[in-house]
Chain A
Amino acid sequence: DAMVIQNPRYQVTQFGKPVTLSCSQTLNHNVMYWYQQKSSQAPKLLFHYYDKDFNNEADTPDNFQSRRPNTSFCFLDIRSPGLGDAAMYLCATSRDLISAGGLTDTQYFGPGTRLTVL
Chain B
Amino acid sequence: QKEVEQDPGPLSVPEGAIVSLNCTYSNSAFQYFMWYRQYSRKGPELLMYTYSSGNKEDGRFTAQVDKSSKYISLFIRDSQPSDSATYLCAMIKGGGNKLTFGTGTQLKVEL
The residues of A with any CB-CB pair to B shorter than 8 Å are 4, 6, 31, 40-45, 48, 57, 88, 90, 92, 94, 97-98, 103-112, 114
Contacts and interface: CB of A to CB of B under 8 A. Distances in A.
Contacts of B31: 104
A104 B46 contact: no
Given A45-B99, A97-B97, A107 B46 contact: yes
Interface stretch (B12-20, B37-45, B58-66, B67-75): B37-45
A105 to B, nearest CB: 7
B44 A41 contact: no
A40 B96 contact: no
B32 interface: yes
Interface of B: 4, 8, 31-32, 34, 36, 41-46, 49, 51, 88, 92, 95-104
A109 B43 contact: yes
Interface centre among A43, A94, A109 (most CB of B within 10 A): A43
Contacts, number: 57
A97 B42 CA distance: 24
A103 B93 CA distance: 11
Given A103-B32, A104-B97, A105-B97, A42 B45 contact: no
A112 B41 contact: yes
Given A40-B8, A112-B41, A104 B96 contact: yes
Nearest to B88: A42
A42 B44 contact: no
B31 to A, nearest CB: 8
B43 A110 contact: yes
Nearest to A44: B101
A40 B103 contact: yes
Given A40-B8, A104-B32, A104-B92, A109 B44 contact: yes
